[in-house]
Homo-oligomer: A and B are copies of this chain.
Amino acid sequence: MATVMSPLRDETARRTTGEALQGALVDLLDLSLVAKQYHWNLTGPRFRSVHLQLDDVVSLARKAADRVAERAVAVGVNPDGRVRTVADTTKIRQPDGGYESDDKVVASMTDILAQIIARFRERIEATGRTDLVTQDMLIGITADLEKQHWMFEVQTQ
């Protein structure tokens, strides 16, 4: 496509917004993969509770990734959700292979979500200067991530 209309005011706004969305996309796609990895390889007495909560995270992450990617193309930036891109740019600490106990998974998810949230808060700040529509979407996703973070963290007590 030669030229795409972007609703944003200039190229800088478009680039900044695009970077925030691409970063969010990588976070969310990898979050969905990590949560599934734990969902499958989990062990321990809390198996059923954590297994189900991890699927809530997967569902949240998949829906948010779709909204974020469609938002990117709507502002004239191509989202990149290819596996190589996600593998090379993800900042999420990766799980070890094999079985993982429920205690470790809960601690790990608490940590992973805390770091994703920190990055989303930076993106909220950045897009607040370039595109309020994108910012509002990121705020909504952050609310959901922070709720999940709380629900994992209190289980570590």
A12 sits at the interface (CB 8 A): no
Q: Is the CB of A69 within 8 A of B40?
A: yes
A16 sits at the interface (CB 8 A): no
A146: shortest Cβ distance to chain B, in Å? 5
Residues of B with C-beta under 8 A to A82: 33-34, 37, 94-95, 97
Partner of A157, one of B1, B7, B147: B1
Closest 3 CB pairs of A and B: A87-B87, A43-B157, A74-B150
A76: shortest Cβ distance to chain B, in Å? 9
Residues of B with C-beta under 8 A to A98: 78
Residues of B with C-beta under 8 A to A137: 143
Partner of A48, one of B29, B53, B69, B94: B53
A51: shortest Cβ distance to chain B, in Å? 8
Q: Is the CB of A83 within 8 A of B83?
A: yes
Complex CA gap A99/B83 in Å reads 17
